[in-house]
Amino acid sequence: MLGQIGGRWLDRLLQQLCKELRAQGWTQMQIAKATGSTQSTVSRQISKPVIKLGATADEATVDGWSKELAASMAQYGPEATVVRQRLVFELQFGGGQALRYDKTLTGMDLDEDQSTKALIRRLDWATGRLDLRRLKSYMPAVGMNIATCLPDAEAVGEVAAYPGRMTLVDGVLRRHETPEFGASNHLANMLLQAKTADGEKPPFSI
């Protein structure tokens, strides 16, 4: 279900919200400002046919949500500014099992310390998603490493990598330590040089 309509229900919610706010008398520019969009996008959302979800019960739920949201936003007026969005998301499985997530979005940039910690987490996550079947034939016997950096990185100490090397043991990629900044001078220099040559590419190096 999530993979089938997980993106479309949000698109329908935004589209119906634009239509509802327009019916409330808001201008397209006011709607664009409130939804973080553009006037041309709002115009298209209002004029094009409603996005189908393939499940009428879900369509009714999303449409009802858009009406409630539009009515509440109309009470605050078009000059009100959203400073935080809280998302509560739950997946229910058979056998009474469930996963529940409660997340808050602020639209703000991370500070420097938060950005570096987030980069370390993304590097660890990306390493765990490497396709070992494709990687095995290319991986040298001495092992490998992987590095990344923030877009504004200029020095070796601003590049995150794994201390030591990662190796394949019984088909499993073994990482003996967690990634940290300044862990690999050689790989860091390679990444910084590649970043200088083509800053449009993602800052990753193996």
Q: Is 99 contained in some domain?
A: no
Domain count, the chain: 2
Q: Is 96 contained in some domain?
A: no
- State residue 90's pLDDT score: 87
Residues 134 and 200 in one domain: yes
Size (the chain), residues: 206
- State residue 165's pLDDT score: 80
Nearest to 190 by CA among 159, 144, 151: 159
Residues 201 and 118 in one domain: yes
pLDDT along the chain (206 residues), means of 10: 72 94 94 90 92 88 94 92 82 89 74 80 83 77 84 87 81 79 87 79 56
* CA dist., res. 8 & res. 40, Å (int): 20
Q: Is 97 contained in some domain?
A: no
Residues 130 and 177 in one domain: yes
Residues 61 and 138 in one domain: no
The domain of 154 spans 112-205
Residues 199 and 124 in one domain: yes
- State residue 201's pLDDT score: 58
Residues 20 and 63 in one domain: yes
Look at phi and psi of residue 90 and say left if phi exceeds 0, alpha if psi is from -120 to 50, else beta: beta
> What are the start-end ranges of the E strands in the chain?
85-92, 98-105, 147-149, 159-161, 167-169, 172-174, 180-181, 204-205
Residues 181 and 120 in one domain: yes
Residues 125 and 192 in one domain: yes
- Amino acid identity at 4: Q
- State residue 73's pLDDT score: 93
DSSP 144-172: B--EEE-TT--SGGGEEE-SS-BEEETTE
CATH number of the domain encompassing residue 174: 3.40.225.10
> What are the start-end ranges of the E strands in 57-140?
85-92, 98-105
Q: Is 25 contained in some domain?
A: yes
Q: Is 22 contained in some domain?
A: yes
Phi/psi at 204 (5° precision): -125, 145
Three-state secondary structure call for residue 186: helix
